[in-house]
Structure 1
Amino acid sequence: MESDSKGGSGQEELRENGYGSGVVLGLDGGATSTVCVCLPMIPLLRDQLSLPDPLPVLSRAVAGCSNYNSVGENAAKATLEQVISDALTESGSDRSAVHAVCLGVSGVNHPTDQEMILNWLREIFPSHVKIYVQNDAVAALASGTMGKLHGCVLVSGTGSIAYGFSKDGKEARAAGGGPILGDWGSGYGIAAQALTAVIRAYDGRGSPTMLTNRILKALGLSSPEEIIGWTYADRSWARIAALVPEVVSCADAGDQIAHDILVDAVKELGIAVKAVVERLCLCGEDRSGSFPVVMVGGVLESNKGWDIGKEVVNYIQKLYPGAHPIRPKVEPAIGAALLACNFLMNEKNINNHG
């Protein structure tokens, strides 16, 4: 399902076609960039089959990192304000037209994180606007299930996390603690192991590897000694994660160390999904029940030879034959916007029956 981008002039036509007045915003804030999309209210979202195809996306804006653990609170807040302003301007809407905002952002690991970001957004919007803050993995799950929170999502980009919801609303997560606390299987985790392998080979603690020449060439460096300075010169984890294609390329070419790094990544990602599935009993008591596993992130996208995503699916399906892999047709920001619609409608239904 692809999105259809329309400017502000299309809002009147959308209303004539049965969409509600006003708009919702969905934000996806990862370690690399922040995306904000603006959608009209979709009044029939409770019936998943009624979702329009293509989705009527009014606007889309992109800005930098909004994970305050990576860039600090001031920079993260400024990024959110900028990307929201750009999306509203492009859609021809103002802040008073917004009914709800759902933000999925990496670094939201505790209610205190949610409250801090909620306070930032409350400063931006009028009091009638409903604001929902989730971990970015929740928006990623919704992008595969079109706004329905059930099943498990596996995200592996710069960082990695597995997150899931049972049908009765219980939730669980595994990994997602950032590079220091073990986002193994992430782009950062894979590339950091590769850099470590190069240093080990250079100083005699490890075997020679094709990764040495490949990574030095990619970074424009002349000696493994220079990798140490390069690694610590910039706080961004994404620049390290960007080396994953070099690892995949070396594994494709038969380098055993690169191959072992990717095998280890597959196992770690599979274990993260397993932890969530077991805690929520998504597979049912007989372990054969059907449930979606949404696969999101650059590390899980198909590669020429060594396909990490495919290997992870094989790992999961050996454990749970009923696991149904989904590669989303829309981006996480749209998943967040659909969540905003669903959350808002659920609140209205509760209030109407209360």
Structure 2
Amino acid sequence: MRKIVAVDAGGTSSRAVVLEASGDCRGFGRAGAGNPTAVGIEAAVEALGLAVARALGDRLGDTDAESLVVIALAGAETPEFVQRLGSRFAGLGLGGTVAIEPDLLGTFCSGTALEHGYAVIAGTGAIAARVSDGRIHTVRGGSGWLLGDTGSGFWIGHLVARTVVAALDGIGRPTALTGLLLEATGIERTSAKHRGRAEELTRLEHALYALQPVELARFAPLAFEAVDDPVGREILDAAAEGIARILAAAVQTDVSGAVVLGGSVLAAGMERAPAIFTHRLRAAAGDAQLIPVADGVVGAAVLALRRLGIRVDARLHRHLTGEIDRARGEAVAQ
């Protein structure tokens, strides 16, 4: 029987499932970051291979020259990445087709069986897309931490860091974010000074400058912890506004349908600060239904089945989602 494998290659973690044409799920595997832009080709290939190997389980190594592997991936893939990935999968017995699809499409298809609508991902970065006839039609945002991505995890984390540094320096407002960031960086509060400046400020600056810029995204959750703090709330207000602006730029009045939301920022926003995020997103998308999803692995599975000519309607989509949730839970319990 032909092996069907679907993979969501994330910048933090990757998930893989083994499917049957019926939508039944026969295995689930998880591993580290599978995005070559985030971690490099070698590490990404290894992580994706490990996730797929775990999903295959006792089917690992059974050669299948007609296998299909569909990967939902952010960014552009290079020929070297595709070649090394094919070799890695061949070593797992998957000698057939390897297809790479946009992570935005994987996110959209994770939330709905519709072929028209919108997808928004706000995690480390922020990006939105209009989906038409089951394909990506228009993309907005996604310019990266240096040039854009307003409202992203990096953008929030960077603003948290700047806000706390200003507060400690006496040129910004006091905020609950200060204690949270000092705790997150392992710096103790002290009244001591170093060359006329607060010692904890000097230590914090050293700690932050030791990071790669994009690593500031790790501090984005602190803003959600401080949602009741006026400064923390202002940061989240501005983040939600930025994400909504990216979505609004992708919206066309002639394209209706659901808005599927993915990424850690939107997951936290819809759960911990819905009053801030929900109405802005609805206003940007014309009051369309908002559907949060945990990741893009269901969507990758939908795209795999569609490549085989299988129509994924609402019933099959529900079945597929339930099967993957079941397999995910079983994998976690092991």
Q: TM-score range by the shorter chain?
A: 0.7 to 0.9
Q: How does 1:165-184 map to 2 (within 5 A)?
A: 165-167=131-133, 169=135, 171-184=137-150
Q: Distance in 2 between matches of 1:302 and 1:78?
A: 29
Specify the SS of the correspondent of 1:209.
Answer: coil
CA change 1:168–1:136 in 2 (3 A) is closer
Q: 2:309 aligned with 1:341, yes or no?
A: no
The TM-score with structure 2 as length reference comes to: 0.78
2:226 to 244, 250, 262: 250
CA change 1:344–1:68 in 2 (3 A) is same
1:68 to 30, 36, 57: 36
1:312 to 277, 280, 287: 277
- What residue ranges of structure 1 are gaps of 5+ in the alignment? 1-20, 43-54, 348-354
Specify the SS of the correspondent of 2:306.
Answer: helix
Residue 133 of structure 1 is matched in structure 2 by 100
- What residue ranges of structure 2 are gaps of 5+ in the alignment? 189-199, 312-334
Q: How does 1:1-354 map to 2 (within 5 A)?
A: 21-42=1-22, 56-90=24-58, 94-96=62-64, 99-106=67-74, 108=75, 110=76, 113=77, 115-123=79-87, 124-125=89-90, 129-146=96-113, 148-167=114-133, 169=135, 171-222=137-188, 223-235=200-212, 237=214, 240-252=216-228, 255-277=229-251, 281=252, 283-284=253-254, 290-301=256-267, 307-308=273-274, 311-328=276-293, 331-345=295-309
Q: Is the 8 A contact 1:59 1:90 kept in 2?
A: no
CA change 1:341–1:114 in 2 (3 A) is farther
Identify the range of structure 1 (72-81 vs 27-36) with the bigger mean alpha-carbon deviation.
72-81
Paired residue type of 1:28: D
Identify the range of structure 1 (29-38 vs 197-206) with the bigger mean alpha-carbon deviation.
197-206
Specify the SS of the correspondent of 1:216.
Answer: helix
> What is the root-mean-square deviation in Å for CA atoms of aligned residues?
2.9
Q: How far is 1:22 from its partner?
A: 2.3
Specify the SS of the correspondent of 1:94.
Answer: coil
Percent identical across equivalent pairs?
Answer: 26
Q: Is the 8 A contact 1:117 1:133 kept in 2?
A: no
Q: How far is 1:76 from its partner?
A: 1.6
